[in-house]
Amino acid sequence: MAGEATWGVNASSLDDSQKELLSGGGLSTRFAKLPLWLSHPSNIGAFYGLLVSLALILPYITTEEFWFPLWIFHSSLLIAATAFLGMTSRIMNIIFKRMPVSVNRKLLYPLPFLGFTLVTLISTGLLTNTATVSFISWSLLMAPGPLYIHLSWAPRWRLLCMIEDGINPFEHMESKDYDRSQEVAEVAGDDSELMEVVESFEAEE
């Protein structure tokens, strides 16, 4: 893809720590393979809203007589809200130029499932649909995507855009050149057998 190829070539001169910051974890790595116009934070936010909307089809089908118009309405609001939050994160990152940080997956990933459970309980009448409960359930559904975009993807997308434009975002940052042999020595200590195992794995890479 053109976007990936452009910033990928320009990033070849970066050190390992800087490339790792650009690629991020598994999810960010997948998004980074997309053209930059497609992986814009607002588009990623809208995509998250779409995924949540698709998950809500079953509760709507089983509990609403005219479920499709209601589902379309709520899905449109959800997608618009997550896209807007993604755009907001992009604008804030332009202003504050914050570097990407990793998100706590163990804390973040269960949230939409908790929200989906609450929405299902509300839809089936097993839980009273008060304003507070409704707000909590929809907040749990929405929060993970916008939080990931705000903390991790929007800052990373800004860096990728700078790399694509031929600008080094790490120009005034200290470069970290890792000595692999030193790292292995620190981990293995005086265990010569462990050193040999690690070196054999490195030789196979």
| pLDDT tens string 162-181 | 888 888 888 766 554 444 44
Confidence of residue 10 (pLDDT cuts 50, 70, 90): low
Backbone angles phi, psi at 53, to 5 degrees: -60, -40
Give the pLDDT confidence of 68-90 residue by residue, as tens digits. Answer: 999 999 999 999 999 999 999 99
Exposed, middle or buried, 156 (CB in 10 Å: 0-12/13-18/19+)? buried
Given this model, what pLDDT does residue 190 score?
53
Question: Tokens 């705000």 correspond to what residue?
Answer: 150
Domain locations in the chain as residue ranges: 2-174, 179-205
pLDDT at 30 > cutoff 70 = yes
Q: How many Å from the N-terminal Cα to the C-terminal Cα in the chain? A: 26
Given this model, what pLDDT does residue 105 score?
81
Please report, rounded to a whole number, the percentage of residues in the chain having pLDDT higher than 70.
78
Alpha helices in the chain (DSSP H): 2-10, 16-23, 26-32, 41-55, 57-63, 67-96, 105-108, 111-123, 131-142, 144-148, 154-164, 180-188, 192-204
Given this model, what pLDDT does residue 79 score?
96
Residues contacting residue 186 through CB under 8 Å, at least 6 positions apart:
none
pTM over 0.85: no
> Cα–Cα distance between 74 and 142 in angstroms, integer?
12
Give the pLDDT confidence of 143-153 residue by residue, as tens digits. Answer: 999 999 999 99
Mean pLDDT, residues 122-142: 86
Give the pLDDT confidence of 109-125 residue by residue, as tens digits. Answer: 899 999 988 888 888 88
